[in-house]
Amino acid sequence: MSENVSNRQLERFPMYLTYLLSIEDKDLVYVSAPQIAQALGLNVEQVRKDLQAVSNKEGQPKQGRKITELIEDIKSFLGYDKPSDAIIVGVGHLGKAFMNFKGFASYGIDIVVGFDTDPEVYGRDINGKPIYPFSAIREVVKNTDIKIAILTVPLENAQEAADELIRIGIRGIWNFTAANIVTPDSVVVENMNLASSFAKFTYKLEELLKKEK
């Protein structure tokens, strides 16, 4: 159970988990690094190192690791066993989709409330979660231990919304807008940039199609 884990490793752990859960109920007890590497198209040594980073026990030569234990280790490493409360800021199409999305619960995220500036939007409930006016955000968040905001406002409002989030004590912003929001060092921003992902996607696709000609 090493201490320093790279971003790339962090990206892979949920992938391992998805795979392990898919083979969990198949009467198998052990899983090995080569098996995982093969299934996910990864390098064996890489998988071994990753597993070492999250696993409490050593693997058994010739067998590997117990699937159920590995699942628990990854879940606990990723904090899925103690979900974090989060708020949705901006209940447009995407914000609404997230409030409805059941999957977040299994990623350790508990969306408790949404905020929006539009009177047509706030006042209602979505999936049992209330939507309040953005102007009430300080009032609602105080006396809670909410530290995480999911930012799904329009691009042009991203920075001002982020500024307010910082003022009210939010410590982490999961940014789904294309904005390069500027924050102090006391706040963590994780960008989920659709355009960046799409740029990689089309470049790869172009290269593939070019090769065929």
Partner DNA sequence: TAGATTGTTAATCGATTAACAATC
Instruction: By CB under 8 A, name the binding residues for its own copies.
Output: 5, 7, 10-15, 17-19, 39-40, 78-79, 84, 92-94, 96-98, 100-101, 103-104, 107-109, 147-148, 155, 171-172, 174, 178-180, 186, 188, 190, 192-206, 208-209
Stretch binding DNA (CB under 7 A), from 37-45, 80-88, 160-168, 193-201? 37-45
In the window 60-119, what residues touch DNA (CB under 7 A)?
Answer: 60-65
Q: Using the rule CB under 7 A, is 49 a contact of DNA?
A: yes
Q: Using the rule CB under 7 A, is 156 a contact of DNA?
A: no
Axis-axis angle for helices 44-54, 7-23 (nearest 10): 90
> What residues have CB less than 8 Å from 50, skipping those under 6 apart?
9, 12, 13, 16
35 binds, among its own copies, DNA, none (CB under 5 to 8 A by kind): DNA
Strand order in the sheet with 172-175: 125-126, 129-133, 109-116, 84-89, 148-151, 172-175, 188-191
- Looking up tokens 């989030």 gives 165
Tokens of 138: 């300080």
14 binds, among DNA, its own copies, none (CB under 5 to 8 A by kind): its own copies
Complex with DNA: residue 55 or 175, whichever CB lies closer: 55
32 binds, among its own copies, DNA, none (CB under 5 to 8 A by kind): DNA
- DSSP annotation string for 91-133: -SHHHHHHHH-GGGGGGTEEEEEEEES-TTTTTSEETTEEEEE
- Amino acid symbol at 57: K
Q: Using the rule CB under 7 A, is 173 a contact of DNA?
A: no
Among 29, 34, 81, 167, binds DNA (CB under 7 A): 34
Q: Using the rule CB under 7 A, is 55 a contact of DNA?
A: yes
Q: Using the rule CB under 7 A, is 197 a contact of DNA?
A: no
**Dihedral angle over CA of 74, 152, 99, 70, nearest 10:** 0
What kind and span of H or E run contains 71?
helix 67-78
Q: Shortest gap between Cβ of 211 and its own copies (angstroms)? A: 10
Q: Using the rule CB under 7 A, is 3 a contact of DNA?
A: no
Among 13, 20, 53, 59, binds DNA (CB under 7 A): 59
